[in-house]
Amino acid sequence: MRRTLTAVAALAASVAMLAATAAPAAAHPRRTTYTVTSTTSAGPTPHFPAFDPTTGHVVVSNVSANTVTDLEISTGPTRTFAAGTTPHTVVVDDASRRAFVTNKGAASVSVIDLDTGAVTQFAVGPNPHGLAVDTDYGRLYVTSIDADRLEVYELATLAQITTIPVGDGPWGVSVGPDRIAVTDTAADTVHLLDRDSLEVRDVVTVGAGPWNSAFLGGTLYVTLERTGEVVAVRGGRVAWRAPVGASPHGIVVDPQRSTVLAAVTGTSQVAVLDARRGTVLDRVDVAAGPAGMTVDPGTGRVFVGNQGAGVVTTLTPTT
């Protein structure tokens, strides 16, 4: 009898504990993780922005106007630079105070001196698209879609170091702690290169239409345009995949909050995902046609080029 009473008491205690731990979850629903804090006029078709940490401005390409805009957030354009035909990806090298822009229709990269405003160009492979700066190794990486290769340039002189064959239709390029990732949009793969030797270490099949990518530690996150997903690649394989909506494009990571943000062009939203598990935490409505994105690493603010609305949207993280 004593054993029976003891068992009943233990069961009652367990039920009470479960009720106590379940109650707070119901009482505290999930809050929005990012909030739209500004929508800034940027030009006719703002596509891919880059953050300038010295000025706090955003430098964004205007695809249809063949220009690049220097944008003060919440105020508007401060300068407009002439670029080549169909300017696309923009990156800023703050150390040299230069912005680089791939000109898809001109087989060139524009180089903008952010202090003086002077613009020069140098020739690259046909249909250049992705672009990344690697300050630790003093390199600039450019993808050539039509030549199926990654081109590597010396950052100081812009002299070509080498070209590396990759998959069909290389779109984006990103730099991680020890790897460089190239998304092969027409091959549904990602080429992973050794950052030191530039040798191909792995080719991972990720899904239909990989567009852009970003590293958080040793994990690579990729948008899949044709399946409407974000995938995480760890250890040479897909660790998880998460549906986010039609035509996800740009992607950034927020290390402080362990989140991944993807611009979902088809729904005019930014999807916020848990970096570890791939859970969609939030979907933030933004202006029409979100495409490229960039992040201010100091504050965690995310800037979205809304090609369909002529604006750049600012998302600010909330508690």
pLDDT digits (tens, 9 = 90+) for 2-32: 333 333 344 344 433 333 333 333 333 445 5
**Angle 89-90-95 from CA coordinates, rounded to 5°:** 145
- Read off the amino acid at residue 297: P
CB 57 within 8 A of CB 71: yes
Among the ranges given (31-40, 84-93, 116-125, 261-270), the one the predictor scored with the smallest mean pLDDT: 31-40
Burial class (CB in 10 A: 0-12, 13-18, 19+), 203: middle
Neighbours of 12 (CB within 10 A): 10
| CA pair distance 110, 242, nearest whole angstrom | 36
| CA pair distance 41, 304, nearest whole angstrom | 12
pLDDT at 319: 67
> Across the chain, what does the average pLDDT equal?
91
Neighbours of 136 (CB within 10 A): 9
| CA pair distance 179, 59, nearest whole angstrom | 26
* pLDDT band at 157; cut points 50, 70, 90: very high
- 61, 67, 63: which is closest to 83 by C-alpha? 67
Q: Which residues contact 162 (CB under 8 A, 6 or more apart)?
A: 151, 152, 198
Domains (range + CATH), the chain: 29-317 (2.130.10.10)
pTM for the full predicted model: 0.90
**Angle 169-133-175 from CA coordinates, rounded to 5°:** 65
pLDDT at 33: 84
| CA pair distance 18, 260, nearest whole angstrom | 32
| C-alpha distances in Å from residue 52, one per residue of 11, 74, 98, 296 | 60, 15, 10, 8
